[in-house]
A and B are shown apart, each in its own frame.
Chain A
Amino acid sequence: MDFRSEIEALSGQNTNLCFQCSKCSAGCPLGDKMDLKPAQVMHSIRLGREQAVLNSTAIWLCVGCETCSARCPQGVEPAAAINAARLMAMQQGVPPQIKEVDIYYRGFVDNMRLNGKIHDASVAGITQLLTGQLVENLPLAWKLFKRGRVKPPPLPFGGSDFRKVYRKSFEIEEGSAL
Chain B
Amino acid sequence: MKYGYYPGCSLEGISVEYNHSMRSLFTALEVTIEDLPDWICCGTLAAPSISRLLGIATPLWNVAKAKQEGFEQLVAPCSACVYHFKNAENQVNTNSKLMSEVEAVLETSLTGLPRTVHPLEILVNDGFEERIKSGIKQDLSDLKVVSYYGCHISRPADVMQFDDPEDPQSMDLVLSWVGVQTLDWSRKVDCCGAHFSLIKPDIVVDLCTEIIESALEAGADAIVVACPMCHANLDTRQGEIAQKLGRSIDIPILYFSQVLGYALGIEPKTLGMKKHIVDPLPLMLEKCQPWGNGSPVLQEVSA
Contact = CB atoms under 8 A, between A and B. Distances in A.
Interface string A102-122: 011110110010001111110
B285 interface: no
A128 B58 CA distance: 25
Contacts of A63: 45, 191, 193-196
Given A117-B41, A151-B16, A173 B53 contact: yes
Interface in B50-75: 50-55, 57-58, 61
Given A121-B13, A168-B105, A160 B40 contact: yes
B199 interface: yes
A124 B233 CA distance: 14
A16 interface: no
A109 B203 contact: no
A120 B9 contact: yes
A35 interface: no
A165 B166 contact: no
Contacts of B200: 98, 100-101
B201 A70 contact: no
A65 to B, nearest CB: 4
Overall SS of chain A's interface: helix
Contacts of B54: 109, 165-166, 169-170, 173
A160 B113 CA distance: 21
A165 B61 contact: yes
A120 B14 contact: yes
Contact of B155 (A67, A91, A161, A165): A67
B39 A117 contact: yes
B109 to A, nearest CB: 16
B53 to A, nearest CB: 4
Interface of A: 10, 12, 29-30, 33, 61, 63-67, 69-70, 75, 77, 83-84, 86-87, 90-91, 98, 100-101, 103-106, 108-109, 112, 116-121, 123-124, 127-128, 131, 133, 137, 140, 143-144, 147-151, 154, 159-162, 165-166, 168-170, 172-173, 176
